[in-house]
């Protein structure tokens, strides 16, 4: 005999169960404490450290690009790539992390 759910058990499929009845299948990862190393954040190269130092001193991206012989767009892209490797979202977070790590 076919049941409402079509599987013969009469039980709803797991994705239709109420949240409070379902088992938690995953556990959120705990975040590292302040100052703890974040996996995958190796120290930037020497030119990248120099860019961070200049940004911390108030330099504009245009200044960095001119000094490195790159276009502003290329410098923005390289900084974005650096921020991703540092696992931060923007310049402020990057400079904060660099200070915490003693890179500046």
Is 29 contained in some domain? no
pLDDT at 71: 95
More confident residue, 37 or 11: 11
Of 103, 96, 7, 94, which Cα lies nearest the Cα of 46? 103
Is 56 contained in some domain? yes
Does residue 33 register a pLDDT over 60? no
CATH number of the domain that 90 lies in? 1.10.10.10
In the chain, the number of structural domains is: 1
Compute the distance between CA of residue 72 and CA of residue 78 in angstroms, rounded to an integer: 10
pLDDT tens digits for range 72-84: 999 999 999 999 9
pLDDT at 35: 52
**CA R_g for the chain:** 24
DSSP structure string for the chain? ---TTSSSS-PPPGGGS-TTTSPP---PPPPPPTTPPPTT-PPPPHHHHHHHHHHHTT--HHHHHHHHT--HHHHHHHHHHHHHHHT-SSHHHHHHHHHHHT--
pLDDT tens digits for range 36-90: 555 556 788 999 999 999 999 999 999 999 999 999 999 999 999 999 999 999 9
Is 32 contained in some domain? no
Instruction: Please give the average per-residue pLDDT across 5-14, as a whole number.
Output: 63
Is 62 contained in some domain? yes
pTM of the model: 0.60
Is 94 contained in some domain? yes
């Amino acid at each position: 005999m076919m049941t409402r759910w079509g599987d013969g058990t009469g039980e709803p499929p797991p994705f239709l169960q109420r949240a409070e009845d379902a088992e938690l299948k995953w556990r959120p990862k705990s975040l590292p404490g302040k100052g703890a190393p974040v996996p995958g954040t190796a120290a930037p190269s020497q030119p990248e450290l120099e860019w961070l130092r200049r940004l911390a001193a108030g330099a504009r991206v245009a200044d960095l690009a001119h000094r490195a012989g790159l276009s502003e767009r290329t410098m923005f892209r390289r900084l974005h790539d650096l921020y991703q490797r540092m696992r931060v979202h923007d310049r402020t977070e990057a400079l904060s992390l660099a200070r915490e790590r003693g890179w500046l």
